Amino acid sequence: MSIQFLVEARAGAARAGRLTTSHGEIETPVFMPVGTVASVKGVSQEVLEELGVEILLGNTYHLYLRPGVEQVKKLGGLHKFMAWPRSILTDSGGFQVFSLSDLRKVTEEGVTFRSHLDGSSHFFSPESAMQAQIGLGADIIMAFDECTEHPAELDRVRQSMKLTVRWAERSKKYFEEHKQEVPWNRLAGNSVCSVQTQALFGIVQGGMDRALRKESAERIIGIGFSGYAIGGLSVGEPRALTREIVESTLEHLPNDQPRYLMGVGTPEEIVEYANLGIDMMDCVLPTRAARHGLLFTSEGRISIKQARWASDEGPLDPNCNCRVCGRYTRAYLRHLYASNEILAQVLNTIHNLSFYLDTMRAVRHSISLGRGARFLSEVWSRAKP
C-alpha cells in the first residue's frame, strides 16, 4: 500500500480522518501550506514543525525548473533535500503550466510551454510529469491534467475533461510501471512506517457543469487512484458556484478515500468545504496575503500596513497562541511592514499559517464531537476589528 486512510468520525457530510503516508500521519481535514520551490516563503522547517504542519505542498512546475528534478533526485528526493521529514504532496505541474508560462501549446501528447524564468522551452506529458514527480519523491503525487479555463464553452469543457481522463490513464500506467524508482525507496530504513511507494491521486475536471463533473468523476474513479482531487475551481467563478460544483462532485466520490479540493481558500471557505466532506486543501492565500500585510485573526482580517495600528499595543490576535501573538504588538508588526523589514514577512506568515492550522484543528475537534464546524465562520462574521 502507498497510503492508508481511515475516517474516524463524521458530522453530517463532514469527516475527521487519519491519513498515513510513507513519512507520517496526517489528521484530516488538513490544510497544506504551499512550499513552492521547497520552501514555505520565509518560514524555516523547524517553525513549520512547531506550527503542527503535517504535510506540505510542493509545486512540480517550479521544482522542475529550479533546482531541477534530477538534482533533487540525486540529493535523495524532496524530503531529504529540504530537510523535511514529514509528508509532502506535489501537484502535477498542470495548473502552473496553464497559469504562469507563456506560449503553451496543448496537443494529445502533452503541453509545450516556455519557462516564466528564462523563456526556455519545455514539454510536459502525463509520462514526463509522472517521471518528474517520482523523481521529486513526494508522498502523494497528482495525475497530469488540463486545468480548463473559465469561462469556456460547454463543448470546450467536455473535450478538455476527456483529455484529462486520457492523461489520467497514461499517468496511472506510467506510475505503476515506475513507482519503484522513488528516491527514498532506495534508502533502507528511512521510512516512518512500512508503506514504501508514493500514492497517486486522480483529478476530476469538468468546469462548472454538474453533468460533466459527474462523468469526469466516474471515469477517473474507473481508472482507480489512491485519492481524488477536485481541480479546475477557484479560477474566477463566483464562490456560490464553486460551492455548488464541490457539493455535487463530492456525491460521486468514494466515501473511503481522501478527497482533495485544490487551491482553496479563505478561512471561511476551508471551514465550509471541510463541512461538505473535503479532507485536504491547499492555497497560497495565507502565505501570500501575509507577505502583503493581510492577516487573518479570530477578530477578522487586519491590514497591518494601516496607520491605525501604529500605536496598538495589543497582540495581533488575542486568541492566538502562536509565537508572534505571544510576543509582538500590532504596533511593532505595523512598523516592520511599513519599514519593509524582512521580519514582517516572516512573522506575518507564521501567524497566518498558525491561524489556518488552528482553524483546521478546531474543525477536526468539532467533527470528532459529531458537530459541524460552521460555527467558526459565524464567530468570525460577527467580529470586526
Residues annotated catalytic, as ranges: 91, 282
Percent of the chain as helix, strand, coil, to the nearest 5: 40, 20, 40
> Of 211, 310, 369, 383, which one interacts with a copy of itself (CB under 8 A)?
310
Stretch that binds a copy of itself, among 96-104, 188-196, 292-300, 340-348 (CB under 8 A): 340-348
Residue 230's identity, in one-letter code, is I
- The answer to the question of residue 221 lying near a copy of itself (CB under 8 A) is no
Residue 374's identity, in one-letter code, is R
Distance CA 293, CA 18 (A): 34
- The answer to the question of residue 64 lying near a copy of itself (CB under 8 A) is no
Contacts of residue 255, defined as CB under 8 A and 6 or more positions apart, other chains included, come to 7
Binding mask 344-383 for a copy of itself (x = CB under 8 A): -xxx------------------------------------
Burial (Cβ within 10 Å: 0-12, 13-18, ≥19) of residue 149 = middle
Distance CA 9, CA 360 (A): 15
- The answer to the question of residue 338 lying near a copy of itself (CB under 8 A) is yes
CB of 208 to a copy of itself, least distance (A): 35
CB of 318 to a copy of itself, least distance (A): 16
CB of 93 to a copy of itself, least distance (A): 17
- The answer to the question of residue 90 lying near a copy of itself (CB under 8 A) is no
Q: What is the b/e burial string over 289-299, where b = at least 16 CB atoms within 10 angstroms of the residue's CB?
A: bbbebbbbbbb
- The answer to the question of residue 339 lying near a copy of itself (CB under 8 A) is yes
> Of 18, 74, 105, 156, which one interacts with a copy of itself (CB under 8 A)?
74
Q: How many residues make up the chain in this entry? A: 385
Stretch that binds a copy of itself, among 197-205, 274-282, 334-342, 351-359 (CB under 8 A): 334-342
- The answer to the question of residue 327 lying near a copy of itself (CB under 8 A) is yes
Distance CA 19, CA 205 (A): 24
CB of 162 to a copy of itself, least distance (A): 36
Contacts of residue 28, defined as CB under 8 A and 6 or more positions apart, other chains included, come to 5, 15, 16, 17, 18, 19, 258, 279, 280, 364
Nearer of residues 39 and 303 to a copy of itself, judged by Cβ: 39
294-297 and 300-303 beta bridge pairing:
antiparallel
- The answer to the question of residue 332 lying near a copy of itself (CB under 8 A) is yes
- The answer to the question of residue 152 lying near a copy of itself (CB under 8 A) is no
SS3 338: helix
Nearer of residues 44 and 99 to a copy of itself, judged by Cβ: 44
Query: DSSP secondary-structure letter at 91?
Result: -
Distance CA 251, CA 259 (A): 11
- The answer to the question of residue 41 lying near a copy of itself (CB under 8 A) is yes
Residue 275's identity, in one-letter code, is N
Binding mask 253-292 for a copy of itself (x = CB under 8 A): ----------------------------------------
Closest CA to 162 of 219, 229, 94, 92: 219
Residues in the site for a copy of itself, rule: CB under 8 A? 37-46, 66-67, 71, 74-76, 81-83, 310-311, 313, 323, 327-329, 331-332, 335-336, 338-339, 341-343, 345-347
